[in-house]
Structure 1
Amino acid sequence: MKKILLALFLLTLHFAKADTILFLGDSLTEGLGVSKEEAFPSLVASLIQSELNKNVTVINGGVSGSTTSDGLARLQWYLKKNPSIVFIALGANDGLRGLNLEQSQKNLEEIINHAQEKQAKVLLAGMLMPPNYGPQYTERFKAMYQELAEKYALKSMPFLLEGVAGKKEFNQEDGIHPNAKGHEYIAKSVFEFIKEAL
């Protein structure tokens, strides 16, 4: 009887783990300026339900202003939920603050390593910096994501805001954060990117 109960318990853990996606990010993930329901992680969950007929639990681990260091600091708490997929969308604030990109890359590597140690599949969303930060810093920032994807054999999307950045109809008045329509656009892109991992 004990063996049967243990088997059922392990099976329950397996299914809980398989149905949980962690989106680890900053204000773009959190959905600054829109409701949680309008932010792209919640919309991705709805698309998974409607398009794949699959229920998932989505953890919106986006916190406004987060750097890679901040994401790393709170990762262990999220990993207690045993996500099967960890979608990393961090680094924009590091770049905008002109932080040392070597340290940023190390932080992202630690996040990847911790997630993989928990048997989670890691997906990486790249970011881009505006050209006014100078060509050297901008190129180094872009290369950071490419290097991580190659080193850890990660599936990655080159730019989370592809098709949204710089387009007035998809952004709030600050020109940085997506509006509800922008999040819808991002959600469709992320869904297409993530569905193979499901």
Structure 2
Amino acid sequence: MGLALASPALVTAEPARRITPPGRRAKVVTILGDSITAGLGLPADQALPARLQAALAAIGAPAVVRGAGVSGDTMAAGLARVDFSVQADSDLCIVALGGNDLLQGLDPKATQASLERIVRRLKARRIGVLVAGMVAPPVIGHGYAHDYDWVFPAVARAERVPLYPNLLDGVGQIINLTQRDGIHPNAQGVQVIARRLAPVVARALKAHA
């Protein structure tokens, strides 16, 4: 998440020729996100794009995973750059934004409107979409948390795209899986996220084929 803007972290892991049979184009997955995607505090080979690529290969669903994460990005900021951050050869885009909207207390209705527009733009380009949601922690007021948590399933349902309900599932609020800020996953935490996310990504890729 992080509030300081940084350049997009584009992580293109193993070349396509190494992960697909001869004559077949590798599937391409792009993660449109914030500092979690950008791998804040981690080397590139331990960041989510690289670890998700490895997890997909491990379950027999090889793909090239590109990171398009900018630290500090809100959903609206992701909307502003989705057309150039998600390249045309992407088969699937994981929209993994919204954490900074929560940290900044932005209106969930505005977050939802931006997410809807991101999904529609990607669909118009014939790029598959997987919405990776976030869940407000217990310390957030009940009313706001309810409205925020509803954003992701509501958009996924309305736009008929798959949903991964909580990107930080199994990692958030767990001390030994997060960095010192208590928010960003450490290398072990990223591994947990990648392993849990990979089967959902594989299904989304298959459905979009």
User: Under a length normalisation based on structure 2, what TM-score does the superposition of the two structures give?
Assistant: 0.82
Which residue matches 1:3?
none
* 1:19 has 2:27 as partner: yes
Alignment match, 2:37: 29
CA RMSD of aligned residues (A): 1.5
Distance 1:150 1:115 in 2: 16
Cα distance in 2, alignment partners of residues 63 and 79 from structure 1: 13
Rounded to whole Å, the distance in 2 between the matches of 1:139 and 1:125 is 17
1:45 CA displacement: 0.9
Residue number among 55, 58, 74 corresponding to 2:65 in the alignment: 58
Q: Write the distance in 2 (CA, Å) between the matches of 1:159 and 1:49.
A: 22
Match of residue 184 from structure 2: 177
Q: Which residue of 1 aligns with 2:113?
A: 106
Residue number in structure 1 paired with 2:93: 86
Higher-helix-fraction structure? 1
Counterpart pick for 2:77 among 70, 79, 86: 70
Is the CA contact (8 Å cut-off) linking 1:79 and 1:118 kept in structure 2? no
Partner Cα separation in structure 2 for residue 30 and residue 97 of structure 1:
19
Q: Distance in 2 between matches of 1:130 and 1:53?
A: 32
By how many angstroms is 1:53 displaced? 6.0
Matched, 1:44 2:52: yes
Q: 1:154 to 1:102 in 2, by over 3 A?
A: same
- CA offset digits 1:92-119 (Å, max 9, x no partner): 1011101121111111011000100111
1:138 equivalenced with 2:145 (yes/no): yes
> How many pairs were matched up?
182
In structure 2, what residue type is equivalent to 1:172? Q
Unaligned 5+ runs, structure 1: 1-14
2:131 matched residue in structure 1: 124
- In 2, Cα distance between equivalents of 1:135 and 1:119: 37
- How far apart, in 1, do the equivalents of 2:165 and 2:59 lie? 24
Q: Aligned partners of 2:102, 2:172: CA distance in 1, in Å? A: 16
Which of the pair has more CA radius of gyration? 1
CA deviation string 1:13-57 (max 9, x = no partner): xx65x6211101111111111112111221111222233163x22
Query: SS in structure 1 opposite 2:59?
Result: helix
Contact kept, 8 Å, 2:162 with 2:204, in 1: the verdict is no
Indicate how the Cα distance of structure 1 residues 46 and 175 shifts in structure 2: closer, same or farther if over 3 A, else same. Answer: same
- Determine what percentage of the aligned residue pairs are the same residue: 34
* Partners of 1:46 and 1:157 in 2: CA distance: 19
Normalising by structure 1, we get a TM-score of 0.87
